Amino acid sequence: MAFVSKLNQLPCKTLLVTPPNSQFTSKPSILQLNSVGVLGKSFGKYGISAGVPRPVFWVRAVNNDYEWGPEKEEPYGKGSAVAVAEELEEPTETEKLKKALVDSFYGTDRGLKASSETRAEIVELITQLEAKNPTPAPTEALSLLNGKWILAYTSFAGLFPLLSRGTLPLVKVAEISQTIDSENFTVQNSVQFTGPLATTSISTNAKFEVRSPKRVQIKFEEGIIGTPQLTDSIVIPENVEFLGQKIDFTPFKGLITSVQDTASSVAKRISSQPPFKFSINNSNAESWLLTTYLDVELRISKSDAGNVYVLIKEGSSLLTT
């Protein structure tokens, strides 16, 4: 009877017992689960005595909802279907145009090395994006203008000498950016340089005024030459091209160790100095800027001279495409 004792501990409900053969007219009996142990013994086909036929009962649970049952599988929810649909959602026409525009900048060095065919393609893509501008009045959406923007492309020829490595051997432009503070109406343009010995930056600070839904007037006030940040380790290339000739630096590699020691001590002194600031008061210190396309990650602007600037918001995935 140990088996019966264990079954008594199960949290099961009343079972309905019905005879399989309709010739027995007696009403079905309701048995508790602890009776199953008695019926579980083998008594032959008709019961305990051949002279008194008894039916063989079949036990069926009426309401089997106890917690030990198999867990039901949840149907594929509506929320999951929506999530999958969002993942498979096709990019919009504007997103395709933006990606195509950024892809067209590849290998152009911010426009310095762009061929005439590439420039024509870029102009066409810009025209298509301007037609889909989601912010027709950028100066009325200053929160979108706010923040740091990285220059990805420009048609401004005045920047090309700055971008060219031939002008400053061993020095290259690491980043050109524009930071807009929409609360204080200030703009800072900055160029970061890197070289084998140090990194530094040249910046200009300006104020801007809103003149139309798309146009701002900019007045430059001061320039800043950042304190050079010298590096402890010096990387000397094997050769560098200057004025059409290649200069071999291999013989100088033996001097690197002694120069590194000197650079390390000098770096600590120079890096602690404040940046050098100077005022800008000439007549060319003013210009206006027209924003023809603006969203949360891409901005297209044009200057009073007709130069085009394409800038990408810092942190945008477009910078890594």
pLDDT score, position 232:
54
Q: Do 140 and 53 share a structural domain?
A: no
200 domain residue, yes or no: yes
CATH number for the domain that contains residue 179: 2.40.128.280
101 domain residue, yes or no: no
The beta strands (E) that lie in the chain are given as 15-18, 29-31, 58-61, 147-154, 172-181, 186-194, 198-210, 215-225, 229-230, 239-242, 245-248, 276-279, 286-294, 298-303, 308-313
pLDDT score, position 191:
92
C-alpha pair distances (Å), 181 with each of 23, 62, 313: 94, 73, 14
Q: Which amino acid is at 144?
A: L
Q: Spell out a b/e string for 276-294, using b for 16 or more CB atoms within 10 Å of the CB, else e.
A: eeeeeeeeebeeebbbbbb
Q: Do 160 and 42 share a structural domain?
A: no
Q: Which domain holds residue 192?
A: 131-227+274-320
pLDDT score, position 281:
79
267 domain residue, yes or no: no
Q: Do 293 and 205 share a structural domain?
A: yes
Identify the H or E element spanning 41: none
To 10 degrees, the CA torsion angle through 308, 313, 314, 317? -110
45 domain residue, yes or no: yes
Condensed to tens digits (0 to 9), the pLDDT of residues 149-165 reads: 999 999 988 777 767 65
Task: Give the chain's residues under pLDDT 70.
Answer: 1-88, 162, 164-170, 230-271, 283, 321
Q: Which amino acid is at 216?
A: V
193 domain residue, yes or no: yes
pLDDT score, position 227:
79
pTM above 0.85, yes or no: no
Q: Do 163 and 50 share a structural domain?
A: no
Helices 116-131 and 93-104 pack at an angle, to 10 degrees, of 160
Q: How many C-alpha atoms does 148 have within 13 Å on its Cβ side? A: 10
**Residues 309 and 303 sit within 8 Å (Cβ to Cβ):** yes
Q: What are the residues facing 312 on neighbouring strands?
A: 150, 298
Of 43, 61, 79, which residue constitutes the final position of a domain? 61
pLDDT score, position 47:
42
pLDDT score, position 240:
62
Q: How many C-alpha atoms does 142 have within 13 Å on its Cβ side? A: 13
Give me the residue label for tokens 């005879």.
19
Domain count, the chain: 2
- What residues contact 236, with CB distance under 8 A and at least 6 apart? 196, 249, 252, 253, 256
pLDDT score, position 46:
41
pLDDT score, position 31:
41
Rounded CA-CA distance 108/116 in Å is: 11
Q: Do 158 and 303 share a structural domain?
A: yes
Condensed to tens digits (0 to 9), the pLDDT of residues 175-234 reads: 999 999 999 999 999 999 887 777 889 999 999 999 999 999 999 999 998 877 766 555
